Structures are given as C-alpha cells and as structure tokens.
Amino acid sequence: METKKLHGSSNNKDKKLKRKEVLEKKRVIDEIIKSAYAEKDHLVSFQPFRQYDRNGLSVYLESGSGEHLSSHMKRYIQNLLKVNMEGPYGPEWPTEEKVKRREMVAPEACYIFVRAPNVCASEIPRRGDMGVTSTHYIGEGDPVVGFVQYRFIVEEEVPVLYVFELQLEPQVQGRGLGKFLMQLIELIARKNHMGAVMLTVQKANSLAMNFYMSKLRYIISTISPSRVDPLIGAEKSYEILCKAFDHEAKAKLEILHLI
C-alpha cells in the first residue's frame, strides 16, 4: 500500500511539473507575440529595405496598421483585392470579400505599403473595361501600388508571422518586388523571434503557388487541409504554405508525422 501511495504522489508531482512547463511555455510565447506588436514600425530595423530601385522600378515602403487606415486607403485596398483575387476565388469571392474587409481594419493587422513617387495616378491602368473598379489610389501622399498585410499569431504552439495579403498593382508585378517584400517579411519574422512565416494561397492561383513554392521555397504545411486529411483537402480551394526557421517549428509545421 505504501508503494502505491508513493507512486500516486509521484504521478501527481509529474503532472504538476508538466502543467507548470506548459503554462511557462505559453507565457513565453504570449510575451514574444506581445513584444512583436509593441514595435509600431517594423521597418525601423531594416533601413536598406525602405527603398527599392531595381528593374526600372523605384518605390519606397512605409508601415501602417489596420486601426489607422484612412477611408481612401480602405477603398484602395478593397479595390486592389477585388482586381487581383476575384478570379482565383471564383464563386467564393463575395463571401471572402466580406471576411477580408473585416480583416483589413483589425487592430492587429500590420501593413507595409509600397509607394511610387514617380508614378502619376493617371498612369495606373484602369480595369473598368473588365467590370472591375479602378484600383487608382486617390488619397494622401504618393500613389500606392501595393501592400503586405501580416500578423503575429500562434500555430501549433509556435509563434509565427502570418501573411494575410501580398497584393501588387499589375504594372509593378514581375520586377522582383514581391520577392523583395517576402525577404523583408522573413527578416521581420526572425528579428521578432517567430518560428516561421506562413500564408494561405488559393489553388487556382497557379502564379502565386509557383512564386511561393518554386521561387521562395515555401512548402505545404502540416496544418494545411490536404496534409491533415487528403479527402477534406481535395474539397478545399486553398493550401497553407510555410517556411520554418528552427527545429521545433519545422517539426510541428513542416514535417508530416505518419502514424
């Protein structure tokens, strides 16, 4: 009986230690996320990335947040999303557009805006002939020709930088700017102690899938529907991609553990 009593006491002690470890890990992760959001301008640490002058394109970057978007910027973001994403989403777009409008103005939404001082708003191609509202930026400052929206969240007990949107005007695509922005995003993630960069891509958006997987070497994450359950994944229109930076993040988000 004494042996059983000691054994039970040992189990309780182990459980308490385990619980303490879990709570401490959660506290550390919460602190990492909180610290990442505390820095209001993530470009401050990466001054060389504020300017992009390559392939006949000269633009500069500035930070922003969802809760401080002007009405002009909100309208611009909505229009550019419609131009770029209505096709890949297809019949899902009306529902998805409402979701994106809510995401756009969330306090935790961090932005990097791409401004082109040498581009006159009137030079930006109109899409009215395709039935899509013009993406012209009509607001304060130099014309905006694209943006990145990202957040710091937790996936599988790993702090990650999640890219919600990377959207560029058609006339600045194909000039290396998208790759430049994603390199910057990865630097921001590493500096803020994130374990990975993650994002969602529509399967129908073959150009984006090729860009992330072939050019930037992202892989389909273990939390993507097609990896969780191939049958369910086949019904879903998207994949979740990932680039992990450390062993724990790779083990939880990149490596498929077969049972």
Rounded CA-CA distance 208/155 in Å is 22
State whether residue 161 is helix, strand or coil.
strand
Rounded CA-CA distance 149/167 in Å is 9
Residue 26 near residue 158 (C-beta atoms within 8 A)? no
Q: How many CB atoms lie within 10 A of CB 73?
A: 20
Supply 56's token pair. 């006949």
Assessment of whether the complete model's pTM goes beyond 0.85: yes
Using 70 as the pLDDT threshold, list the residues of the chain that sit under it: 1-9, 119-136, 257-259
> Residue 170 phi/psi, 5° resolution?
-55, -35
Class of 39-253 per CATH? Answer: alpha beta
Q: Which residue has the tokens 């500096």?
A: 191
Query: What is the predicted pLDDT for the residue at 116?
Result: 94
Rounded CA-CA distance 162/149 in Å is 9
**Structural domain boundaries of the chain?**
1-38, 39-253
Query: What is the predicted pLDDT for the residue at 4?
Result: 55
Query: What is the predicted pLDDT for the residue at 210?
Result: 97
Query: What is the predicted pLDDT for the residue at 2?
Result: 54
Query: What is the predicted pLDDT for the residue at 3?
Result: 53
Query: What is the predicted pLDDT for the residue at 125?
Result: 46
Pairing outcome for strands 158-168 and 196-202: parallel
Query: What is the predicted pLDDT for the residue at 129?
Result: 40
